[in-house]
């Protein structure tokens, strides 16, 4: 998956907005980041289920995301660290996890 395909996919998710923070492209739901992409080196950071964390970080090109909640965020060292379909699935899961932390009234807008 390339950066344009990634952008198109993220923006296709209901309620997603994009912005720039810390010189990174961010995709957000209700101003809460669920994907962060470095335009310099192509690293992608996203939230993951804690139960999937060990299996994900055991894979080549995926590690614990620095500066984010321990065992809850991973960084992919390139967009090719996962297949396009798995990357899309993981991005949707990241969005779902971030949305689940918002108030029920806000969550209801997106279901």
CATH number for 25: 3.90.1150.30
How many independent structural domains does the chain possess? 1
Dihedral sign, CA of 105, 106, 107, 111? positive
Which structural domain, as residue segments, surrounds residue 76?
Answer: 3-108
Mean pLDDT of 83-92: 95
Model confidence, pTM: 0.91
Arithmetic mean of pLDDT over the chain: 92
Q: Render pLDDT for 23-34 as a digit per residue (tens, 0 to 9).
A: 899 999 999 999
CA distances in angstroms from 85 to 18, 24, 34, 68, 70, listed in the order given: 21, 23, 17, 25, 26
Could you tell me what percent of the chain has a pLDDT over 90?
78
pLDDT of 15 reads: 93
| 70 pLDDT more than 90 | no
């Amino acid at each position: 998956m390339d950066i344009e395909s990634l952008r198109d996919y993220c923006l296709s998710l209901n309620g997603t907005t994009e912005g720039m923070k810390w010189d990174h492209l961010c995709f957000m739901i209700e101003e809460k980041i669920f994907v962060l992409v470095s335009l310099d080196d192509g690293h992608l950071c996203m939230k993951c289920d804690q139960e999937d964390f060990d299996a994900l970080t055991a894979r080549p090109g995926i590690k614990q995301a620095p500066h984010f909640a321990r065992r809850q965020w991973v960084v992919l060292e390139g967009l090719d660290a996962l297949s396009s379909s798995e990357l899309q699935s993981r991005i949707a899961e990241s969005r779902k996890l971030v949305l689940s932390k918002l108030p029920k009234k806000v969550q209801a807008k997106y279901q």
